Amino acid sequence: MTTARDLMITAIDESPNGSVGQGELSLALAGAELVDLLAAGTVTLDDDVIVPDPDILTPGGTPPFDEPLLTQAAMALRRHKPYESVEDWLWRRGRDLAAAYAAALAAEDQLTRQHRRRRPARAGKVVVADSADHRSAQDRWTAQEPVLVALATMAGTLDKDRATPVDPAGGPVGTILAAVDDAATELEAVRRRRAIEQAGYDNIWRAP
């Protein structure tokens, strides 16, 4: 299991009505991958710049990960100077990443749909099937593992009144989490600005 997979499972478990916002979650998943790459020694951070380990990421080589999407993330690292900043990585790697993780879970038969009692013919929300992976993610969540909780909160998978402030460790992991938080905040600001602009545009056409 990886932090990103645990985050995706947690997002499905904890999000209101089973709905998961793609944008913030995708950014958080990209951050989770970077946390795991850092823990594996595949990368280091020079301030906020991602420096890959040249001994692991040799041309044609395969990083030692059982998780295909994490291997994909490792192979997508920028291997030559100028290296990429954490922020740039989040936006580049995070594009449609939530959909990729959802598809991977579905392909492994890890996702199912609840049936509604009153309308059994209509499928309900998507849920994670009972499995060793699901239980592992639940264990991390129940233990309130700081990095997972921080990423889940930034991804917007929790109601604001349920979110517990988390002060994860500093250092490189703290740098990654701060970048995810900044990117999620920026995405929300862009979304609100576009909504306001669209509302203004609609009002022009509605005006007598």
pLDDT digit string (tens) for 12-55? 888 765 555 678 999 999 999 999 999 999 999 999 999 998 87
What's the pTM value of the predicted model, to 2 decimals?
A: 0.83
Which tops the pLDDT comparison, 79 or 125?
Answer: 79
Q: What does the pLDDT read at residue 39?
A: 93
Rounded to 10 degrees, the C-alpha dihedral 142/188/110/132 comes to -20
- pLDDT class for 90, splitting at 50, 70, 90? very high
Cross-strand bridge partners of residue 112? 127
In whole angstroms, what is the distance from residue 148 CA to residue 140 CA?
A: 8
Q: What does the pLDDT read at residue 201?
A: 47
pLDDT surpasses 60 at 82: yes
Q: What does the pLDDT read at residue 168?
A: 55
pLDDT surpasses 60 at 163: no
Dihedral sign (CA 143, 86, 20, 163): positive
Q: What does the pLDDT read at residue 121?
A: 46
* Encoded amino acid at 197, one letter: E
Q: What does the pLDDT read at residue 107?
A: 92
In whole angstroms, what is the distance from residue 20 CA to residue 14 CA?
A: 9
For residues 75-104, average pLDDT: 93
Q: Which two tokens stand for residue 138?
A: 């639940």
Domain ranges of the chain: 3-206
40-46 contacts at long range (C-beta below 8 A, 24 or more positions apart): 40/64, 40/65, 42/74, 42/77, 43/77, 44/172, 45/86, 45/172, 45/175, 45/176, 46/83
Q: Which of 105, 116, 122 is nearest to 10 (CA)?
A: 105
